[in-house]
Amino acid sequence: MKTIRPTAALNLFLLIFLLAMSPPSNSEKKPEKDSTKLRTAPNILFMIADDWSYPHAGVYGDPVVRTPTFDRLANEGAVFENAYCAAPSCSPSRASILLGRYPHQNEAAGNLWSIIPDKFPNWVSLLKQSGYHTGKSRKGWGPGDYKSGGYEHNPAGKEYLDFETFLDDKSDDQPFAYWFGSQDPHRTYETNTGVKTGMDAESVVVPEFLPDTPCVRNDIMDYFFEAERFDRESGNIIDVLERKGLLDNTLIVMTSDNGMPFPRAKANLYDYGTRMPLAMYWKGHIEGGQRITEFMNFIDFGPTFLEAAGVEIPKAFSGHSLMALFSEEPGVKIDRTKVFLERERHANVRKGDLSYPVRAIRTKDYLYIKNFEPDRWPAGDPHVHQSVGQYGDIDNSISKFLIMEQEGKPTDKYYFELAFGKRPEEEFYVLASDPYNLRNEIENKNYRKEIASLRKELQEWMSATDDLRAKAPHTVYWDTVLYTPDYQFNDYDLNQKIKEYDMLVRKEGLFKAANCLE
């Protein structure tokens, strides 16, 4: 029997020890730091609002909301006409941004208030491993539990008080990736902030799924007020960039996570829930004044940032870089004629903790929606289950309360049914004649061919992306994953809520109180 000399035995022991102490491979090679690349790599500034819809920006033609920062980025860079969040809900949308994957690919992170697993590559973490200084202020990924998923801090980066504090913590020659997550224009709102800043209620464009009343217009102006605050704070960050001479080599993105917190918008796959404002700026790389009509999904942000930084894009990403849109050079052709959208459980608002699972495909001309559980209430149960109150997938607001008050009453449109009523298994909207997605044409024989084609495309996408619902349409997976909070655990008094709304209207230069039910 051959004996091993002590030195050889010691070397073997050390080798085994080092292998045991090495971190396990997650199938993705960690990027190596390259000091030469780092000196030329762009900074990345990602500014994301909370519940802000397209087309509520000056550059999109809205006559009331004032967004000079967004408009500047659009005019000096590019503005997107067809940008879509992966899911119309905070946590799953933000998880898809960070992980570059569709919500159904992110396990529990496909839900609101759940867990985001760290086993999937995250572009913030990859940039940090490559030598970037990374961090965030305010809302990153969430709400939810990232520690149970294996993260030490929020997946969007270490928390900093503000942008200048973040910059003070980096090396002079180190590029940065900074996430600014505003809580605006998420509810609740301070009533009358919009009208007090001089907004004209008569100029407000009321989406046709909302009743056009003075109180709804006032509610929209308060939403605009908070959108303007996000714009203003984003402008302050850009001012710091300019003052420090960092603007020219910074790739800037300004957008929102999901749609406005109004009935039939946020938490829905209609356009006001999923279609997002998006402007991108990078001097010398994005020509100013471009209006991009190609479709993009938020899973495309991660690949875009990594390509710009010269970091290898993980195979686990489902998204594709947007950089080819800004270049005349031929590259890999990506089909940008459509996007796929989805949602699972938003708030926990159905008896049994049930999700409201939906998948959709949106093209230039059509929106096709598949509701997997049409017997469930899309906006939540009519009485509180665990959170928010009645119809809890819609944030409480005077707009919501006024539509609830219309139940059973004749109105010019079926606002109550549009917001709260159950929906058929399939929906199909012809966008040229129905931009607000109000008239379901699924039974229209003139569109049989188009409906069949979209139905097939949606199923093929689900299968190709390993969607559990491709093979098990009624899976209970997203009904059973963690939901952490309990709040507003009672039905509210609808009439009392409406009476409590103290609206002001401006008449002849003076503010006067008004009643929403007059």
Nearest to 305 by CA among 177, 151, 404, 131: 177
CA separation, residue 423 to residues 358, 369, 489 (Å):
11, 10, 26
Mean pLDDT of the 75-88 span: 98
Which tens digit of pLDDT belongs to each residue from 205-243?
Answer: 999 999 999 999 999 999 999 999 999 999 999 999 999
More confident residue, 499 or 16: 499
Q: What percent of the chain has pLDDT over 70?
A: 92
Rounded Cα gap, residues 308 and 249, in angstroms: 11
β-strands 510-514, 114-115: how paired? unpaired
Does residue 371 have a pLDDT over 90?
yes
Q: What percent of the chain has pLDDT over 90?
A: 87
Does residue 6 have a pLDDT over 70?
no
Nearest to 135 by CA among 156, 164, 161: 156
Structure tokens at 317: 């990403």
Question: What's residue 32's pLDDT?
Answer: 56
Question: What's residue 442's pLDDT?
Answer: 98
Does residue 319 have a pLDDT over 50?
yes
Packing angle of the helix pair 214-243, 398-405 (nearest 10 deg) = 160
Contact 213, 402 (CB under 8 A): yes
Question: What's residue 37's pLDDT?
Answer: 66
Rounded Cα gap, residues 229 and 220, in angstroms: 14
Which tens digit of pLDDT belongs to each residue from 241-285?
Answer: 999 999 999 999 999 999 999 999 999 999 999 999 999 999 999
Mean pLDDT of the 462-484 span: 96
β-strands 176-181, 43-49: how paired? parallel
Question: What's residue 2's pLDDT?
Answer: 38
Rounded Cα gap, residues 186 and 174, in angstroms: 34
Question: What's residue 386's pLDDT?
Answer: 84
With a threshold of 0.85, does the pTM exceed it? yes
Task: Fill in the amino acid letter for 387.
Answer: S
Does residue 327 have a pLDDT over 70?
yes
- All residues at 6 or more sequence positions from 265 whose CB lies less than 8 Å from its CB, including other chains: 53, 88, 207, 209, 259, 272, 273
Rounded Cα gap, residues 302 and 130, in angstroms: 14
* DSSP sequence for 434-473: -TT-----TT-GGGHHHHHHHHHHHHHHHHHTT-HHHH-T
3-state secondary structure of 174: coil
Cβ density class 145-168: b for 16+ within 10 Å, e for less: ebeebebeebbbbbebeebeebbe
Question: What's residue 473's pLDDT?
Answer: 98
